[in-house]
Every structure is written in C-alpha cells, then in structure tokens.
Amino acid sequence: MGCFITFEGPEGSGKTTQVHLLAEWLQAQGYDVVTTREPGGTRIGDGIRALLLNPLYVEMQPEAEILLFSAARAQLVGQVIRPHLARGGIVVCDRFADSTLAYQGYGRQLDIEVLRRITAFATGNLKPDLTICLDLAAEEGLRRKRGGDQAEWNRMEQEQLAFHERVRRGFLALAAAEPTRWLVLDAMQSVVSVQEAIRQRVAQHLNFERSVVT
Ligand code: TYD
C-alpha cells in the first residue's frame, strides 16, 4: 500500500536537494514516485502558502497560522498523497505534520496535544512510514539561508534565533520519541554522504515492505 517518506529539519538543512536526489534514484529503480512539499503542493495549498510565508503579514495570529498550515495539509493529503499511496506509489514530501509540532509546538510554544488533534483531523490520521531529519545548528541553517536567495526569505525565518533553536530541539525530541520512524542525519556532512545514508535507510525499508507483501 505505497510508502510515505517525509523530510524534516530546520531552515537551510538541504532538504530540497536531498528530496530530489532520492526521488531520482527511486525512479531509476522503477518506483512510481511523487515529490511534493508543504505548505503547498496543490493549487489551493499554493494559495495558502502565499498567505503563510508573506513577510508582510506580521499580524498573523498563531491559531490562524496553525489552521492555515493544516488546511494546506488536508488538501495535499486528500488530493495528492492518499491517491498516490492507494496506487501503490511512493510519496516523498518536503516537510509534513512534524513541522507543525516543531515550529508551532516547540517554536511558538503552543499546546502539543491540541496540535496533534488538529493534525490528526487534517490528515485523517495519516502518518509517514519513514521520516528523515536533516539536523543542523539553527545558526548555521539561518546563515546558509541568508547567504542564499533573499527573495525566498519568509515570515518564519524572520523569527529570532531562540525560536529556531527550540524548533531544532523539537525535531530531535520528536525523533527520539519514535526512533523506528525517524532517521536523524548530520546535515553538515557532504550532500553525497547524506544522500548515501538516506538511500540505505530507504532501501532497507522497501525491502522489508516487499518481504511482508510477498
Ligand atoms: P519553505 O520556504 O518551504 O522553507 P524550507 O525550505 O525550510 O522548508 O517555508 C516553509 C516554512 O514554514 C518553514 O519556515 C517552516 C514553516 N512551517 C511551519 O511553521 N509549520 C508547518 O506545519 C510547516 C509545514 C512549515
């Protein structure tokens, strides 16, 4: 019944590059792969993304922020992720519900249990089979982003360093609580070594799945 892989981690950890390298490799192995990202990935989600990330909307309320991320997620799950998994395909998603727990829960310090309930509603309880966390010091991640395309600078990245440090600790806490789902990798390593470790873990997971089915 398909395989759902998500990538998480702080800003500037290189998720997008790794998502694409993994998808190319899986496609070359003959898998039917869809890559997507949050917030976004559908035209409704892209509209919501524009609201969420616009640096001008400094007045956005935390509750509104959660519900907008969740609305984009509900649309992506229903329109893209579940249909592809039902066809037996692999979905690779750049950020998913764990980002809400890390950014809104640990970063904004909102009630994690409330966030879990909202997220369960938005996704119909869909959970990733495997989550890769590219871990990086918050300061280093922000430095990488600032050195990059300023046009991509978004509302979340404007937050203080302490916020981003809480987010990073949040990801590590989530990973520690569910070690079989998560693989945490040091994003200071080269792109090639990070990708190698990801492929090993994914191959292990897919072989395991195959042996269960056959
Ligand atoms: P994006 O430009 O996609 O950042 P990145 O390249 O780091 O993934 O912007 C997404 C931003 O939204 C990022 O700062 C993380 C944040 N975010 C949340 O705060 N909550 C969420 O649930 C999700 C999915 C993202």
- Going by the DSSP 8-state scheme, the letter that residue 36 receives in this structure is E
Distance CA 42, CA 37 (A): 9
Task: Provide the pLDDT for residue 209.
Answer: 66
Task: Provide the pLDDT for residue 1.
Answer: 74
Distance CA 104, CA 64 (A): 11
Write out pLDDT tens, residues 153-182. 788 888 999 999 999 999 999 999 999 999
- Ligand 1 neighbourhood includes 164 CB (under 6 angstroms): no
Name the pLDDT band for 107 (thresholds 50, 70, 90): very high
Q: What are the E-state strand segments in the chain?
A: 3-8, 33-37, 90-94, 130-135, 182-186
CA–centroid distance, 211 to ligand 1, in Å, is 35
Residue 83 has pLDDT above 60, yes or no: yes
Protein residue whose Cα sits closest to atom 14 of ligand 1: 156
Protein residue whose Cα sits closest to atom 5 of ligand 1: 11
- Ligand 1 neighbourhood includes 69 CB (under 6 angstroms): yes
Q: Which domains occur in the chain, in start order?
A: 3-206 (3.40.50.300)
CA–centroid distance, 187 to ligand 1, in Å, is 17
Write out pLDDT tens, residues 17-69. 999 999 999 999 999 999 999 999 999 999 999 999 999 999 999 999 999 99
List CB contacts of 172: < 8 A, sequence separation 6 or more. 133, 135, 184
- Ligand 1 neighbourhood includes 141 CB (under 6 angstroms): no
- Ligand 1 neighbourhood includes 7 CB (under 6 angstroms): no
Inter-residue contact 35 to 211 (CB < 8 Å)? no
Buried-exposed string 141-178: b where 16+ CB fall within 10 A, e elsewhere: bbebbeeeeeeeeebbbebeeebbbbbbebbbebbeee
When pLDDT is averaged across residues 174-199 and rounded to a whole number, the result is 98
Task: Provide the pLDDT for residue 210.
Answer: 64
Give me the percent of the chain exceeding a pLDDT of 90: 87
Task: Provide the pLDDT for residue 155.
Answer: 87
Higher pLDDT: 48 or 210? It is 48
Residue 7 has pLDDT above 60, yes or no: yes
**Measured between alpha carbons, how far is residue 159 from residues 103, 108, 127, 142, 165 in Å?**
11, 10, 28, 10, 10
Distance CA 118, CA 66 (A): 9
Ligand 1 mutation target, pool 16, 49, 63, 103, most atoms within 8 A of CB = 103
CA–centroid distance, 38 to ligand 1, in Å, is 7
When pLDDT is averaged across residues 87-116 and rounded to a whole number, the result is 98
Ligand 1 atom with the smallest distance to the CA of 69 is 22
Coil, strand or helix at 205: helix
What average pLDDT is seen over the chain?
94
Distance CA 133, CA 34 (A): 19
Task: Answer positive or negative: Cα dihedral of 35, 36, 42, 43.
Answer: negative
Distance CA 69, CA 134 (A): 21
Task: Provide the pLDDT for residue 146.
Answer: 81
Report the candidate in 79, 82, 71, 119 with the shortest Cα–Cα distance to residue 99. 119
Task: Provide the pLDDT for residue 82.
Answer: 98
- Ligand 1 neighbourhood includes 129 CB (under 6 angstroms): no
Inter-residue contact 101 to 112 (CB < 8 Å)? yes
Find tokens 């509104």 and name the residue.
Answer: 64
